[in-house]
Chain A
Amino acid sequence: MANLVPEGLTADVFNQAVAEMRAVVGKQWVFAEDQAALRSYRAAYGATPDEAHLPSAAVAPDGVEEIQAILKIANDYRVPLWTISTGRNFAYGGPAPRKAGYVVLDLKRMNRIIEVNEELAYALVEPGVSYFQLYEHLQKTGSKLWIDPAAPGWGGPLGNTLDHGGGYTPYGAHMLMQCGMEVILADGTVVRTGQGALPNSDNWQTVPYNFGPYVDGLFTQSNYGIVTKMGFWLMPEPPGFMPFMVTFPKQDQLHDLVEILRPFKLNLIPHNGAIMADLIWEASTKATRRQYYSGKGPIPPSARRKIAEDHQIGEWNLYAAFYGPEPLNKLQWEPLEAALRTLPGIEIYYEGDRKGDPTWDYRRDLMRGIPNMTEFSLMNWIGGGGHINFSPICTPYGAEAMKSWAMIRDRANEFGFDYIGEFAIGWRELIQVLMLMFDRTDASQRDAAYNLFNTLIEDFAKEGYGEYRTHLDFMDQVAQTYDWNDHALLSLQERLKDGLDPNGILSPGKQGIWPEQLREPR
């Protein structure tokens, strides 16, 4: 039967578990011997070899009862289950498990859009629903509600929210828009959170809180349960939509840009999370590195100037939008525009000004809730597929932005990589994302990327910056940086883990949270 076996299990025991899972979901929905099928669960873009994260099997249930039956088998035989929703979270590991040999619990078949409420503007969906699918559904039904997709449209709202992901419309803070969950605990108990705990309530998707502690957050970035339904709010189509782009010719203008944006953002202007993309992120949808520079190491300033000139882009490129009645949009834009125009050399672009520019088109579409895949062109910059995201949080001060940007840029350059990144500014947070691109076919580049990533985690922790999310390969390292008061937070997370999942079957090691039997002494 299967070649790979979960750690701690004999082949006989594992084969028995697999046979029992087949009896639950049907043999066509358990993949164990089919190596091609299992390979489709690999972490396709990571800095470690595929083998580091290949599953021993995958099981794809359809429904709560089937999941409960699988949980019973996993508890009986101590099979580690790694749960995925759409499994398209590739810069952070995709559908692959934390450790080789786990069994992936693939919820993609559970892809029902259970409810869309037009009047109250919310949706309730299963884990396998993708942004493309939800968008298609709303279009077909003539809905006037918008979705808030992540940059790649093949991901989905449930998985993205559970990983603390974000989007580009005013509803881009997905955790804030989430409302009500159905969760299956390791022992098979089904829990509904919020007002869903009250039988016959109509408010499951309108009020996020229940009586007593609010628990939804416990099931995000965690391994305490399997979320089978999630509610979230959808944005009503506004009467007007005014996207804009501003280019900044100098790298150090990031400082002034953030200083200008902060007080506006505290007052929710512009209305969505503004993105500040660097020159290469911006250029990579329409050019390759080789077209401008064939040497090793970071691209020299002369080539950067040529890229900026050829594509009419800046060292930083701000994208944001206003949503509402057009006169109001204009009124709210005026003071921000005036403040931005104090910076020398900037250019401002509106709808229609950048015809034929694929970057403008995909950014505008994301801010308008239209899912697409164009951002994947980042991989065309050097080719070879490798990319992982380093995503630290900092405070929205100009000096902080400059400092954390320079920290990444200098380390990236030291390890032989270009800085390819963006900042997203929210209400009070500034999140930087380094798109660490490398040729995955080149072992030396893979190793350099891996080492750079670990170095950055250390560098940033020393300065008090934490990552908001991370790739499979770095979950332990990042978890260890949140170590105030002798790791009190991680200790609490572990106590919850031991209480809720005593056999340690659910996603062991997710976000650095290991069950007692697999925990290493700190």
Chain B
Amino acid sequence: MVRPRLIFRAWLTGAMLLIASGSGAGEARKLEGAERTWAFYCEGCHAAGIEEHPGTLRLSYTRSPELAAIRGRQDLTPEYLRQIVRMGYLEMVGFRKTEISDDELEALIKFIRLPVPTQAQGEK
């Protein structure tokens, strides 16, 4: 089964990020929260693995296979992500503040832009 791995890998990767960034406990909690936001609202469409994820598949068509998975993409500016997450764009719907609060959105943006740990790169 593919999905449980995708969703529950979250906790493990969160801990790895903490070690990697050497940041404080508050920051780590935020990133862990962001990983959960990612799992509930983003990953289903945007995880790596082009074929199973509609958003990744879409971006492989409209951009390129290299730009298809959004995690780790530094070229996606915080402003752009803020706009897209709230307002949506074509096939993607916007997310309400009751789903992703402003604070959660800022943490999510940081999370998306962080380099992807190698373990996650091969995920499918």
Chain A residues in the interface with B (C-beta under 8 A)? 29, 31, 36-37, 39-42, 44-45, 58, 60, 87, 90, 94-95, 106, 108-109, 128, 130, 132-133, 135-136, 139-140, 152-154, 285-286, 288, 356, 358, 361-362, 365, 368, 370-377, 379-380, 383-385, 440-441
Contact = CB atoms under 8 A, between A and B. Distances in A.
A358 B91 contact: no
Contacts of B57: 285, 377, 380
Contacts of A154: 40-41, 44
A368 B54 contact: no
A34 to B, nearest CB: 8
B86 to A, nearest CB: 5
Contact of B90 (A288, A376, A383): A383
Contacts of A384: 90-91
Interface string B86-119: 1110111111111100000000000000000000
29 contacts: A36-B86, A40-B87, A40-B88, A40-B93, A40-B96, A58-B96, A60-B97, A87-B96, A90-B93, A94-B93, A106-B96, A106-B98, A154-B40, A285-B54, A356-B51, A358-B51, A358-B52, A361-B2, A365-B1, A368-B1, A372-B44, A373-B44, A373-B54, A375-B54, A376-B45, A376-B54, A377-B54, A380-B54, A380-B58
Contact of B40 (A41, A106, A132): A132
Contacts of A130: 40
Q: How large is the interface on B (under 10, 10 to 19, 20 to 34, 35 or more residues)?
A: 20 to 34
Contacts of A441: 90
Interface in B1-55: 1-4, 7-8, 39-41, 44-45, 51-55
A133 B37 CA distance: 11
Contact of A44 (B7, B62, B88): B88
Given A136-B39, A365-B1, A44 B86 contact: no
Contacts of A371: 3, 44
B95 to A, nearest CB: 6
Contacts of B90: 383-385, 440-441
A286 B86 contact: no
B42 to A, nearest CB: 10
Given A106-B98, A139-B8, A380-B54, A370 B91 contact: no
B87 A361 contact: no
B10 to A, nearest CB: 9
B116 to A, nearest CB: 19
A93 B96 CA distance: 15
A384 B61 CA distance: 13
Given A139-B8, A362-B52, A370 B1 contact: yes
Contact of A40 (B51, B53, B61, B86): B86
A361 B58 CA distance: 18
Nearest to A379: B91
A31 B54 CA distance: 30
Given A60-B98, A288-B61, 14 more contacts: A39-B87, A40-B86, A41-B96, A44-B88, A90-B93, A108-B99, A132-B39, A140-B8, A358-B52, A362-B52, A370-B4, A373-B44, A377-B57, A379-B91
Contacts of B61: 288, 380, 383
A356 B2 CA distance: 11
Contacts of B95: 40
Contacts of A288: 61
A39 to B, nearest CB: 6
